[in-house]
């Protein structure tokens, strides 16, 4: 976000979220459920799992290498579809009748060679540590971001959009609004004044529903049980615009209404457009893929920098080369909010964090089945979940000390 954003007297910024029943999010969850199942059986598994869905069909494809004897992939697919909420044939898609097609082969030997033995090791035989031996599973740029707008150190628009989406799913699951179906989207527009969120200007909700329920009931219930239950009153005022099911009808949804695909909601997964994005999706990838692990590490760094009081807004870019352990670049941006010079923060980050893939996997304990739970409602800022290691602020005190600042309280 540019310095213009920080100085503008008034600016509107919008982010969206989707429920777990959205067809793309369904695919993300299937991919991560399969990843979790392989990691549960073999923590060293190499997984690149893609999922596509359409009316009556889920297709799983990709490259997986594992020592696990057998994983019943179709069973994992059906269990995930059931847990998401597609349990009735009248929804046009359900776990009992949907077809499953699986086309999986082993990871490319060329990729495996670079990941198993990093470039640094190949160039210098012997004398390396175990963490240096693991090369990045892909090239690319990864971004981490944090800001002090919300308690979870996330941008207000995406934080509020996720809260509304989770609430939309919750009142469906607990029967409060028994006419809801699994598919849904939320969108929140926040008014900023000189870089600070001041109020919510608009809330948009698209809620899949039974054919028999009327628009007056939908409008009333969504505002009462979703929007006002999810968004704190201080954000809403008499001028806040509320728009529910703007087309007038949303009965056909999920994979019947729109084909789904893994990795098509990368902005929902991250910072709602407030930060830059390297383009790589997360779901279905084991942690040797830096698309996943390095993005998590970048968020970990960014959150600790803000928690340490070193900047109010912070973005970190990392870049990697496939088969090489060390990132080829580390770049920071504080948007003019730094409490110390940017060069000081960068030195502190390099000193406090080891950003090689092997070290990231070790420090965040990523070789375990924890990914399905973040495949919907965002991978970052998850204050609703207990054990998300990249959300910890356990390096904030160290960063503060390295920058000559007093360690943050707590």
Q: Which residues are catalytic?
A: 22, 24-25, 50, 63, 185, 250, 258-259, 264-265, 285, 289, 291
Written as six digits, the tokens of 368 are 């375990």
Contact 355, 327 (CB under 8 A): yes
């Amino acid at each position: 976000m540019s310095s213009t954003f920080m100085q503008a007297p008034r600016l509107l910024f919008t982010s969206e979220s989707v429920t777990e029943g959205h067809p793309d999010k369904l695919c993300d969850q299937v991919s991560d459920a399969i990843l979790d199942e392989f990691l549960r059986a073999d923590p060293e598994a190499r997984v690149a799992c893609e999922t596509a869905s359409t009316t009556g069909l889920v297709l799983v494809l990709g490259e997986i290498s594992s020592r696990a004897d057998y994983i019943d992939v179709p069973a994992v697919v059906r269990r995930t579809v059931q847990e998401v909420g597609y349990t009735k044939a009248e929804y046009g898609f359900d776990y009992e009748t949907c077809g499953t097609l699986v086309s999986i082969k082993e990871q490319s030997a060329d990729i495996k060679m670079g990941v198993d033995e990093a470039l640094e090791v190949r160039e210098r035989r012997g004398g390396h540590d175990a963490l240096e031996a693991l090369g990045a599973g892909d090239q690319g740029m990864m971004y981490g971001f944090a800001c002090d707008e919300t308690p979870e150190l996330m941008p207000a628009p995406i934080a509020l959009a996720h809260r509304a989406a989770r609430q939309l799913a919750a009142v469906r699951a607990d029967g409060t609004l028994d006419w809801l179906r699994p598919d849904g989207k939320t969108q929140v527009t926040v008014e900023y004044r000189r870089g600070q969120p001041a109020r919510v200007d608009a809330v948009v909700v698209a809620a899949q529903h039974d054919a028999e329920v009327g628009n007056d009931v939908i409008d009333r219930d969504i505002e009462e049980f979703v929007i006002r239950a999810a968004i704190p009153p201080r954000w809403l005022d008499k001028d806040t615009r509320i728009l529910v099911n703007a087309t007038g009808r949303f009965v056909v949804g999920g994979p019947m209404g729109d084909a789904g695909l893994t990795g098509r909601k990368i902005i929902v997964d991250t910072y709602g457009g407030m930060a830059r994005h390297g383009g790589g999706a997360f779901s279905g990838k084991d942690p040797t893929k830096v698309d996943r692990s390095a993005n998590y590490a970048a968020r970990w760094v960014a959150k600790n920098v803000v928690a340490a009081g070193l900047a109010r807004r912070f973005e970190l870019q990392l870049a990697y080369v496939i088969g090489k352990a060390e990132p080829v670049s580390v770049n920071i941006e504080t948007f003019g909010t730094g409490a110390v010079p940017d060069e000081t923060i960068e030195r502190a980050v390099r000193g406090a964090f080891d950003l090689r893939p092997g070290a990231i996997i070790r420090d965040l304990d990523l070789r375990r089945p924890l990914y399905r739970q973040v495949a919907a409602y965002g991978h970052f800022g998850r204050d609703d979940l207990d054990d998300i290691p990249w959300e910890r602020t356990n390096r904030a005190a160290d960063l503060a000390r390295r920058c000559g600042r007093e360690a943050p309280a707590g």
